[in-house]
Amino acid sequence: MKPESYAKPVIKMTEWEKSESGPKETARVEAFSDGVFAIAITLLVLELRVPEVKGNERLLPLLLHEWTSHLAFVIGFFTILVCWINHHYMFEHIRRCNGMLLLLNGFKLLVVSFTPFATAVISRYIGTIHQQTATNLYALNFFLMGLAMTGIWCYAYQNEMTKSGSPEFLKAVNQLYIFAPIISGVILILSFINIWICLTLFGIMFLIYVIPKKSAARLEKWKHVAS
Amino acid sequence: MKPESYAKPVIKMTEWEKSESGPKETARVEAFSDGVFAIAITLLVLELRVPEVKGNERLLPLLLHEWTSHLAFVIGFFTILVCWINHHYMFEHIRRCNGMLLLLNGFKLLVVSFTPFATAVISRYIGTIHQQTATNLYALNFFLMGLAMTGIWCYAYQNEMTKSGSPEFLKAVNQLYIFAPIISGVILILSFINIWICLTLFGIMFLIYVIPKKSAARLEKWKHVAS
Amino acid sequence: MKPESYAKPVIKMTEWEKSESGPKETARVEAFSDGVFAIAITLLVLELRVPEVKGNERLLPLLLHEWTSHLAFVIGFFTILVCWINHHYMFEHIRRCNGMLLLLNGFKLLVVSFTPFATAVISRYIGTIHQQTATNLYALNFFLMGLAMTGIWCYAYQNEMTKSGSPEFLKAVNQLYIFAPIISGVILILSFINIWICLTLFGIMFLIYVIPKKSAARLEKWKHVAS
Amino acid sequence: MKPESYAKPVIKMTEWEKSESGPKETARVEAFSDGVFAIAITLLVLELRVPEVKGNERLLPLLLHEWTSHLAFVIGFFTILVCWINHHYMFEHIRRCNGMLLLLNGFKLLVVSFTPFATAVISRYIGTIHQQTATNLYALNFFLMGLAMTGIWCYAYQNEMTKSGSPEFLKAVNQLYIFAPIISGVILILSFINIWICLTLFGIMFLIYVIPKKSAARLEKWKHVAS
């Protein structure tokens, strides 16, 4: 990262270079990210295996028997969906883009594209004696996702790459995203103790972050009432 | 959902928040949905296995022998295509977007991304004694798809998120989409009785919903004649 | 299709319905099609299996031994690429969209998404005694692709859905696309006689259709010289 | 390619043909390319297999045991990401498009879509006696990627298809991309000697090309200082 800051004072930005920070740049980052989100969310279905009926067995019990796969499919789906909703929400408020933001977004997409694997592991081992380790891996994935999400927002916010808005609201959005890795960090620690508390906290995080606009507004209000 | 309505009267919408309901938001929802539709429709091909020729066998009979896979591929393809045509048609008329609509759309995409699995099951078990259960699963998937489609439209219509149009036409579109889960619910029930009646009704639904604009126009006309 | 024409004279098109034929509709058809093309072209790589080295074997000969897979990967890739270039070229000149065009485009995408399977079959059986049948399947896929391509253009051209341009050029484009299913039909017939002639003709078609604009211009010129 | 140049002096470009070189054409090339990049980068996850726990084994050691897969996943991910960043950067500066550029871009996408296979091979054989060959294949893939990247830029630059900018900066960008296949060619040769030097050079190339704008600016400055 040193070379970047090193070059800054020497080279004056030409008109041409400045024009790169236009709306088109963010548009293509969003399009590429949408592609990765859409593929990761759809690849989850590849973990659902068609059961092989043998002898006198019937198909329905075999389908129902794989309920953990189906549950993991739904959990994985909504994890990535909420992640996309927040990515979408952030990039609505980010007007500029640079190399560092592309890298942070790249890290985010790395975690997103890893999610089908973490989902496959939990789907395979939940209900077995290995479910502890599988949940740890999933919670780690979740924590890294929260961290990446927060990284993107905080970098953009501190470098004044966000659109102008009321400072109070922007601050509330910022706090909302600082909470994300904290809560998911707690979930990661709890995943070593009890997986059912974890799943409950996953659900609560889902309810908060599925509606980021409302959650930020509510956070702003609470602070207003408290002060 | 309670917290959302709870926050409403207290926080006044800032200019910035209002601007989120612009054309860009719907654009990215459509782009993400298009990605999921495109991937789900293309993943169907992964169910087609290259047959392994053994001994004195010939390739052609082996390819023809797997006609159920190929039929399921075509049925799955057109199911998702019609679904996309209607999604496309709806979002042409929806001008605003909020958290609830994103969730309803997410449910829709969940069903779409489940379709390759339902198709794989029917492809594996049609022509066997397990075809009844496989058809039930497919009809259930179809019913949920109709329900999700209708959920999106009705929510947008009742919350005045649709573009302005002649009230009669909007009402006809609305009725068209209320029919969808009703017909597919009937198909689901019939799938427990006779799978061939089901397949015929699938075909009729396809003919109605592949051309949503015309079907809505025809519905409007019939009501006009009847009254 | 009867019901469509039936409804036409009775219902007058509202302003709202007319507005559907705007630029946005074609944009989303193109985006969805791009998604399917991009996925089909990338799924080809899944046919390349990592060879399993056993005993004293070395990796390089094993990789080279699977040259047919790699050749099929490249052929499949360029088949879909040329197909995309022409799809792109056509939709540059198509300004309106309706239900029938969506269906024709859907048929096109069905063939595109089937291509990875046809490629997998030829990749598995070329160089074996089953290569004849594998080539037939590939040529059939190729013929249907040409037919679908031509169907889209001819429908749009005859229904005056193309952008205004010089009538001579439009006619040349039309003739270029009428040739596509004819040449690929000949290739299909020849695939039952000699597969190497087929592959040569595939190459020539590739050279013509990889640059549709130039090919149409050349066709226009030849006709001008001849007359 | 001969026929193209042949047709040029005879046919005068109509208004209609000229209009094809508008912003829309590049937009769709970028959208299609984004799709291929997004899919290739997400398909990497399919190489991560869920380990099968047997007898008294525990899950964690098995997951850690497959660290080569996970390392290859991360390397493959960042290879494609850097490639996308540069593709994005180039196409920001390319304003026109023609058949040759579509072909060069097609070759680029061929290499991109081959990357998951090269990654799978290195993931399977690193740490074994076959790692030499696997690294050669990966370095070859890397070299072709550099070559394709450079091909696109040089073709666009020499044919004046780039946007207007300061000539010095454009020249620096040009030199940056001429270095790419040279460095990756050196890496390819070194891959036959020592794979760890290779991996180090991969890392250095990554640092240079992950921030193409800064790297071009720095190159321009160095030349300025030197002269």
Residue-wise pLDDT tens digits, D18-27: 444 444 467 8
Is A111 inside any structural domain? yes
* pLDDT score at C199: 83
Are B20 and A78 in contact (CB < 8 Å)? no
Number of domains in chain A: 1
* pLDDT score at A108: 95
Nearest to B14 among A48, A74, A169 (CB): A169
Is residue A19 predicted with pLDDT exceeding 70?
Answer: no
Is C112 inside any structural domain? yes
Residue B227 sits at the chain C interface (C-beta within 8 Å):
no
Alpha carbon of A223: minimum distance to chain D alpha carbons (Å)? 40
Distance of CA A95 to the CA centre of its chain: 20
Is C8 inside any structural domain? no
ipTM of the modeled complex: 0.81
Nearest residue to B69 (alpha-carbon basis) of C121, D199, C99, C83: C121
Nearest residue to B177 (alpha-carbon basis) of B136, B141, B227, B216: B216
Which chain A residues have a beta carbon less than 8 Å from that of B14? Answer: 165-166, 169
Which chain C residues have a beta carbon less than 8 Å from that of B37? Answer: 32, 35
Residue D50 sits at the chain A interface (C-beta within 8 Å):
yes
Give start and end residues of each alpha helix (H) in chain C.
2-7, 15-18, 23-43, 59-65, 67-93, 99-125, 131-158, 167-190, 195-209, 212-226
Average pLDDT in the D183-212 region? 88
Residues B19, B20, B21, B27, CA torsion sign: positive
Q: Counting one residue from A and one from D, how many pairs have CB atoms under 8 Å apart?
A: 111
Whose structure tokens read 């899950």? D59
Is C3 inside any structural domain? no
Alpha carbon of C69: minimum distance to chain B alpha carbons (Å)? 13
Average pLDDT in the C51-75 region? 87
* pLDDT score at C25: 62
Residue A78 sits at the chain B interface (C-beta within 8 Å):
yes
Cα D70 to Cα D86: distance, rounded to the nearest angstrom: 24
- State percent of chain D over pLDDT 70: 88
Cα A29 to Cα A91: distance, rounded to the nearest angstrom: 9
Is D173 inside any structural domain? yes
Which chain B residues have a beta carbon less than 8 Å from that of C99? Answer: 85, 210-211, 213-214
* pLDDT score at C15: 40
* pLDDT score at D8: 35
Cβ burial of D202 (10 Å; 0-12, 13-18, 19+) is buried
Q: Which tokens hold the place of B205? A: 């639904």
Polymer length in residues for chain A: 227
Render each residue's pLDDT in chain B as its tens digit; 227 residues.
334 333 333 333 344 344 444 444 678 888 899 999 999 999 999 888 888 888 888 889 988 888 888 888 998 999 999 999 999 888 888 888 888 899 999 999 999 999 999 999 988 888 888 988 999 999 999 999 999 999 999 998 888 787 766 777 788 888 888 888 999 999 999 989 888 888 888 888 888 888 888 888 888 888 778 77
Residue B114 sits at the chain C interface (C-beta within 8 Å):
no
Is D15 inside any structural domain? no
Chain mean pLDDT for chain C: 82
Which residue does chain A place closest to D29, by CA atoms? A28
Q: List, for residues C140-177, the tens digit of each pLDDT value.
A: 999 999 999 999 999 988 887 877 667 777 888 888 88
Q: List, for residues C8-54, the tens digit of each pLDDT value.
A: 333 333 443 444 444 446 788 888 999 999 999 999 998 888 888 88
Per-position b or e across B81-115, b if 16+ CB within 10 A of its CB = bbbbbbbbbbbbbbbbbbbbbbbbbbbbbbbbbbb
Is C13 inside any structural domain? no
Q: Which candidate in C91, C206, C211, C223 is best for mutational testing of the D interface (most D CBs within 10 A)?
A: C211
* pLDDT score at C66: 84
pTM reported for the whole predicted model = 0.85
Q: List, for residues A171-201, the tens digit of each pLDDT value.
A: 888 888 888 899 999 999 998 988 888 888 8
Chain mean pLDDT for chain D: 83
Cα D176 to Cα D216: distance, rounded to the nearest angstrom: 6
CA dihedral A220, A221, A226, B2 (to 10 degrees): -120
Are A34 and B28 in contact (CB < 8 Å)? yes
Average pLDDT in the C207-220 region? 85
Which of A106-110, B51-55, B223-227, D110-114 has the lowest average pLDDT? B223-227
Q: Which residue has the higher pLDDT, A128 or A2?
A: A128
Which chain D residues have a beta carbon less than 8 Å from that of A130? Answer: 53, 58-59
Is residue C185 predicted with pLDDT exceeding 90?
Answer: yes
Q: Which tokens hold the place of B1? A: 């959902």
Residue A66 sits at the chain B interface (C-beta within 8 Å):
no
Alpha carbon of D211: minimum distance to chain C alpha carbons (Å)? 26
Is residue A21 predicted with pLDDT exceeding 70?
Answer: no
Nearest to C10 among B45, B88, B221 (CB): B221
* pLDDT score at D18: 41
Is B146 inside any structural domain? yes
Q: How many CB atoms lie within 10 A of CB D23?
A: 10
Residues B48, B49, B50, B55, CA torsion sign: negative
Which residue does chain B place closest to A48, by CA atoms? B117
Cα B95 to Cα B92: distance, rounded to the nearest angstrom: 8
* pLDDT score at C4: 39
Give the structural domain span for A215: 23-49+59-226
Residue D32 sits at the chain C interface (C-beta within 8 Å):
yes
* pLDDT score at D147: 93
Which residue does chain C place closest to D6, by CA atoms? C218
